[in-house]
Structure 1
Amino acid sequence: MTSPDPHGHETPTRPSDEAVLEAVATGLPAALSDLGRLVRIPGMAWPAFDQTQLERSAEAVASLAEDTGVFDEVRVLRAAVPGTDELGQPAVLATRAARNGRPTILLYAHHDVQPPGDDALWETPPFEPTVRDGRLYGRGAADDKAGIMAHIASVRAVSETLGDDLDLGIALFIEGEEEYGSRSFGQFLADNRDALRADAIVVADSGNWDSVTPGLTVSLRGNARFTLRVRTLEHASHSGMFGGAAPDAMLATIRLLSTLWNDDGSVAVDGLSAREAPTPEYGEQTLRDEAGFLPGTTPIGDGTILSRIWNKPSITVIGIDATSVAAASNTLLPEVAVVISARVAPGQSGEEAYAALERHLREHSPFGAELTFSDVDLGNGFLVDTSGWAVTMTREAMEDGYGVEPVDLGVGGSIPFIADLVREFPEAQILVTGVEDPHSRAHSPNESLHLDTFRHAVATEALLLARMNDRRL
Structure 2
Amino acid sequence: MNARDPDLPLQPDDSAAIGAFAARAWDEEIVPALTRYIGIPAKSPMFDADWQQHGHVDQVVREAAAWVESRQVAGLTLEVIRLEGRTPVIFFEVPATKPGSTDTVVLYGHLDKQPEFTGWRSDLGPWTPKYEDGLLYGRGGADDGYAVYASLTAIMALDRQGIPRPRCVGLIEACEESGSFDLPAYLDLLRPRLGDVGLVVCLDSGAGNYDQLWLTTSLRGMVSGVLKVEVLTEGVHSGDASGLVPSSFRILRQVLDRLEDSRTGELLPQSFHCEIPASRIEQAQATAAILKDEVWRRFPWACGADGGATLPTTQEPVQALLNRTWRPTLSVVGVDGFPELKNAGNVLRPYTAFKLSLRLPPLVDGNEAALKLKALLEDNAPYNAKVTFQPDGRAGAYGANGWNAPELSPWLLEALDTASQAHFGAPVGFIGQGGTIPLMSMLQQGFPKAQMMVCGVLGPKSNAHGPNEFLHVPYGKKLTAAVAQVMAACP
Q: TM-score, normalised by structure 2?
A: 0.85
Look up the equivalent residue of 1:295 and give its one-letter code: C
Letter of the aligned partner of 2:169 in structure 1?
Answer: A
Mapping of residues 2-21 of structure 1, within 5 Å: 16-21=14-19
The counterpart of 2:312, out of the listed 274, 293, 299, is: 299
Cα pair 2:415 2:485 within 8 Å, conserved: no
**Alignment check: 8 A CA contact 2:333 2:354 kept:** yes
For 2:293 and 2:479, the matched residues in 1 are separated by 27
Q: Distance in 1 between matches of 2:145 and 2:233?
A: 48
Q: Does the 8 Å contact 2:4/2:164 carry over to 1?
A: no
- The structural deviation recorded for 1:56 is 1.9
Candidates 290, 296, 299, aligned match of 2:298: 290
Work out the CA distance in 2 between the residues paired with 1:191 and 1:354.
Answer: 27
**Are positions 1:237 and 2:258 aligned together?**
no
Cα distance in structure 1, aligned partners of 2:122 and 2:168:
38
Aligned counterparts of 2:274 and 2:260: Cα–Cα separation in 1: 15
Aligned to 2:90: 92
Q: Please report how far the alpha carbon of residue 221 of structure 1 lies from its aligned counterpart in structure 2 after TM superposition.
A: 0.7
Q: How many residues are treated as equivalent by the alignment?
A: 456
Task: Please say if 1:24 is aligned against 2:22.
Answer: yes
Say if 1:119 and 1:126, in contact at 8 Å, map to a contact too: no
Deviates more, 1:357-366 or 1:320-329: 357-366
Conserved 8 A contact 2:416-2:428: no
Query: What displacement does 1:101 show?
Result: 1.7
Contact 2:337 2:352 in 1 (8 A): yes
SS of 2:184 mapped into structure 1 = helix
Does residue 1:449 correspond to 2:487, yes or no?
Answer: no
Q: For the residues of structure 1 that align with 2:31 and 2:140, how far apart are their CA atoms?
A: 13
How far is 1:339 from its partner? 1.4
Question: Aligned partners of 1:370, 1:38: CA distance in 2, in Å?
Answer: 43
- Larger CA deviation: 436-445 vs 70-79: 70-79
Which residue number corresponds to residue 80 of structure 2?
76
User: For residues 23 and 106 of structure 2, what CA distance do their matches in structure 1 show?
Assistant: 23
* Correspondence 1:67 to 2:70: yes
Measured in 1, the distance between the counterparts of 2:22 and 2:191 equals 31
Q: Which residue of 1 aligns with 2:337?
A: 322
In 1, distance between residues paired with 2:237 and 2:454? 55
Give the aligned partner of residue 382 of structure 1.
403
Q: What is aligned with 2:249?
A: 250
Residues 221-230 or 236-245, more deviating: 236-245
Of 403-412 and 290-299, the range deviating more from structure 2: 290-299
Higher mean displacement: 105-114 or 248-257:
248-257
Structure 2 CA distance for partners of 1:364 and 1:285, relative to 1, 3 Å: farther
Deviation at 1:182, TM superposition (A): 1.6
Distance 1:229 1:34 in 2: 42
Q: Distance in 2 between matches of 1:77 and 1:3?
A: 35
Q: Do the aligned partners of residues 76 and 442 (structure 1) sit closer, same or farther apart at CA in structure 2, a change above 3 Å counting?
A: same
- CA 1:418–1:3 in structure 2 vs 1: closer, same or farther (change >3 Å)? closer
- 1:167–1:464 Cα change, 3 Å: closer
Deviates more, 1:325-334 or 1:456-465: 325-334
Shift of 1:152: 2.4
Distance (whole Å) between structure 2 residues aligned to residue 426 and residue 384 of structure 1: 11
Provide the TM-score with structure 1 as the length reference. Answer: 0.88
Give the corresponding residue for 1:8.
none
Preserved CA contact (<8 Å) 1:122 1:445: no
Deviating more after overlay: 320-329 vs 11-20: 11-20
Residues in 2 aligned to 1:322 and 1:266: alpha-carbon distance in whole angstroms: 27
Look up the match of 2:307: none
Aligned to 1:35: 34
| SS of 1:291 mapped into structure 2 | coil
Partner of 1:140: 140
Distance 2:320 2:16 in 1: 39
Displacement of 1:378 in angstroms is 0.6
State the SS of the aligned residue for 2:91. Answer: strand
Q: Is the 8 A contact 1:122 1:446 kept in 2?
A: no
Comparing 258-267 with 274-283, greater Cα deviation is found at: 274-283
Counterpart in the other structure of 1:403? 425
Please state how far the C-alpha of 1:21 moved relative to its aligned partner. Answer: 2.6
Question: What are the residue-to-residue correspondences of 1:343-422 with 2, within 5 Å?
Answer: 343-362=359-378, 365-376=381-392, 377-388=398-409, 389-422=411-444
Is the contact made by 2:378 and 2:388 (CA closer than 8 Å) also made in structure 1? no
1:186 matched residue in structure 2? 184
Give the C-alpha shift of residue 300 in structure 1: 2.6
Structure 2 CA distance for partners of 1:245 and 1:378, relative to 1, 3 Å:
same
Contact 1:146-1:435 within 8 A present in 2 as well: no
| Structure 1 unaligned blocks of 5 or more | 6-10, 81-85
Query: For residues 167-209 of structure 1, what are the alpha-carbon distances to aligned partners after superposition, in whole Å with 9 as ceiling and x for unaligned?
Result: 5201011111212222210010111112223211101100111
* SS of residue paired to 2:142: coil
**Inter-partner Cα distance in structure 2 for 1:369 and 1:401:** 60
- Judged with a 3 Å threshold, the aligned counterparts in structure 2 of structure 1 residues 383 and 392 are, in CA distance, closer, same or farther, namely farther
Q: Which runs of 5+ in 2 are unaligned?
A: 305-309, 393-397
Amino acid at match of 1:193: R
Residues in 1 aligned to 2:117 and 2:454: alpha-carbon distance in whole angstroms: 28
Output one character per residue of 1:428-453: Cα deviation in whole Å (capped at 9) or x when no partner: 22221112212111111211011221
1:351 is paired with a residue whose SS is helix
State the secondary structure of the residue aligned to 1:94: strand
8 Å contact from structure 1 (residues 44, 51) kept in 2: no
Are the aligned partners of 2:265 and 2:330 in contact in 1 as well (CA < 8 Å)? no
The answer (yes or no) to whether the contact 1:62–1:76 under 8 Å persists in 2 is yes
Secondary structure in 2 matching 1:144 = helix
Aligned-residue offset at 1:215: 1.1
